[in-house]
Copies of this chain bind each other. A is one copy, B any other.
Amino acid sequence: MSTYTAPLADMRFALYDFLGAETLYARLPGCESATRDVIDAVLEEAARLCEQVLAPLNAVGDQEGCRYDQATASVATPRGFKQAYEQFVGGGWSGLTAPAEFGGQGLPESMGALVKEMIDSANLAWGTYPLLSHGATEALKQHGEPWQQQAFLKPIVEGRWTGTMCLTEPHCGTDLGLLKTRAEPAGDGVYRITGTKIFITAGEHDFTENIVHLVLARLPDAPAGTKGISLFVVPKFKVARDGSMGTRNALACGAIEHKMGIKGSATCVMNFDGAEGYLVGQPHRGLAAMFTMMNTARLAVGLQGQALIERAYQSALAYARERLQMRALSGAKYPDKPADPLIVHPDVRRMLLTQKAFSEGGRALGVYAYALVDIQHHAADEAERRRAEELVSFLTPIVKGMLTEAAVECTNHALQIYGGHGYIAENGMEQFARDARITTIYEGTTQIQALDLLGRKIMQQQGAGLRHFLEEISAFCQARAKDAALAEFIGPLAVAAKEWGDLTMALGKRAMENPEEVGAAAVDYLFYSGYVALAYVWAKSVAAAEASAQDAGFKAAKRHTARFYFARLLPRTRAHRAAIEAGADSLLAMPDAQFG
């Protein structure tokens, strides 16, 4: 059975050396309390919880899954999940990054991201319950009326209640413009919500006394499409304006889904049957409100991918060191043993290094993206806040799309290293591959991330985020131009960044003439962007390691992994570039009828 050890050394590197969190937090109003002492203590405590409480429940959750009881419309979570949640709440983890005014600890999101990584590495399915609460917190914090914040936010931050996001309906997932759930005004600011929502994560469970649903629905006078969608807060048990809990609301879980993975996460069909709800934000502006919560959730799902890569890597590495099979092609490396361990074989190392490069690179990229969220929320200077917002909104689809696709690849590499032993349930590797598979789908598929990146962030917003990012890369390359220790990375990085800009310009021109070029290039463009972004992260990681107080082995490992990344992963841009340049015709020319 797979175990988990929180990678605290590399987490500290990502935060202190790569990001420079101490300097950053010291200058961001509201983040000053996040000193190194505090952070170290939080990370170590989180590691204990994740290693000792959550990780041992990961296989249990997969084997047992959630159980739905039709008679009571209730969902029982796997054995131990509820107790773990109680420990989580008892330790104050539910409000780690929430504002102090609602009972939270107000710590920076970039530090919270590392705690989230540990939770998701330890037990992804369990981690979906607090994740959704985090999303609901964001939406209410930004768009809720003061009484809603008092009544709903506080118990969520305290972990006494949890939150959900109710978007998808049977006939629409990606295309929310089609949604049918209705909201009828019933006076007194109350609305009656009627409709069916599906794929609702944590829609029903046994963790808490109440569940707060954030529901997209249409008011009677709503225009058609996405401009007629409003956001409502609809609790399982009614809540008065003073925050007191009342009777059961007219909503219930109608079924749970049997899924490929994350079986410990309750994926619910939610039936709203005239349930009482309250409007959040402006009428017909619900999609925009939901998107503020969705963007955070997308970064979070990107980190889920990275967390699974880390977890699977730990198991695969241990197995590669222990399992004896064949001799190295250049002669026995461990002649005293009956065979050499798997780790001597070059292709096993290729798979391990791919995982290591994505896990550590993904961690640094994630911490960087969340730091932009911190800057966006806290920086004193408005221009700095705006730049951070543009940059993180550009990076979000890259982080989400790239790290989740990498998670599918990397968990499968880990399984492959185990061979037949990876395909059987008992070693836990196939669970990681199954769990990872949802991450490229929920909170917007890779295809949607790609369209968000190329269609919205590049085409509609004139590539402001890309410009900021390329400027940052360029500044980094110039500052290191004479650094002999970095020369092997700076040259190729500068070339890749230049090509990224050129390719974007050329693609933009083609897309002005034919909008289908956007859809035809988007996914390859997302991958292309992801590989270049990670090249920057890896070059910067080597620089940060060199400048740090880390030991020689740590520095050498960063350098070797960066070399591997530049030699073996960055060249994948060659194939993506060719696909981008192939144009829309290669996809659109064939009439639908000829597909089969």
Contact = CB atoms under 8 A, between A and B. Distances in A.
Contacts of A438: 423
A416 B430 contact: no
Interface in A389-446: 408, 412, 415-416, 419-426, 430, 433-434, 437-438, 440-442, 445-446
A575 B175 CA distance: 35
Contacts of A574: 571, 574-575, 578
Nearest to A592: B343
Interface in A163-177: 168, 171-175, 177
Contacts of A498: none
B326 A260 contact: no
B575 A338 contact: no
Contacts of A433: 260, 437
Interface in A287-337: 313-314, 317, 321, 324-326, 328-330
A484 interface: no
A532 interface: no
A560 B575 contact: no
B174 A419 contact: yes
Contacts of A561: 590
Given A175-B326, A455-B329, A593 B553 contact: yes
Nearest to A310: B596
Interface stretch (A20-28, A90-98, A124-132, A346-354): A346-354
A568 B582 contact: yes
B412 A441 contact: no
Given A556-B594, A596-B314, A353 B578 contact: no
A107 to B, nearest CB: 27
A100 interface: no
B595 A519 contact: no
Contact of A423 (B339, B441, B516): B441
A518 B173 contact: no
B575 A572 contact: yes
A86 interface: no
A415 B437 contact: yes
Nearest to A260: B430
B564 A575 contact: no
Contacts of A343: 592, 595
Contacts of A557: 590, 594-595
A284 to B, nearest CB: 19
Contacts of A572: 575
A419 B169 CA distance: 13
A339 B175 contact: yes
Contacts of A174: 325-326, 419
A447 B415 contact: no
B437 A412 contact: yes
Contact of A199 (B258, B420, B442): B420
Contacts of A317: 595-596
Contacts of A515: 329-330
A586 B571 contact: no
Contacts of A260: 423-425, 430, 433-434
Contact of A425 (B259, B330, B412, B582): B259
A587 interface: yes
A178 interface: yes
Contacts of A415: 437
A50 to B, nearest CB: 17
A592 B343 CA distance: 7
Contacts of A424: 257-260, 267
A280 interface: no
Q: Which of A259, A260, A330, A445 has the most chain B CB atoms inside 10 A of its CB?
A: A260
A360 B349 CA distance: 34
A420 B590 CA distance: 27
B553 A328 contact: no
A589 interface: yes
A57 interface: no
B568 A579 contact: yes
22 contacts: A178-B324, A257-B424, A260-B434, A329-B518, A329-B519, A330-B515, A343-B592, A346-B520, A346-B584, A349-B590, A353-B587, A416-B440, A416-B447, A423-B437, A433-B437, A553-B593, A556-B590, A556-B591, A557-B595, A571-B575, A572-B575, A574-B575
| Smallest CB-CB A-B distances: 10 pairs | A571-B578, A574-B574, A560-B590, A346-B519, A260-B430, A557-B594, A567-B582, A346-B520, A567-B586, A329-B515
Interface of A: 7, 168, 171-175, 177-178, 198-199, 257-261, 267, 313-314, 317, 321, 324-326, 328-330, 338-339, 343, 345-350, 352-353, 356, 408, 412, 415-416, 419-426, 430, 433-434, 437-438, 440-442, 445-447, 450, 455, 514-516, 518-520, 522-523, 553, 556-557, 560-561, 563-564, 567-568, 571-575, 578-579, 582-584, 586-596
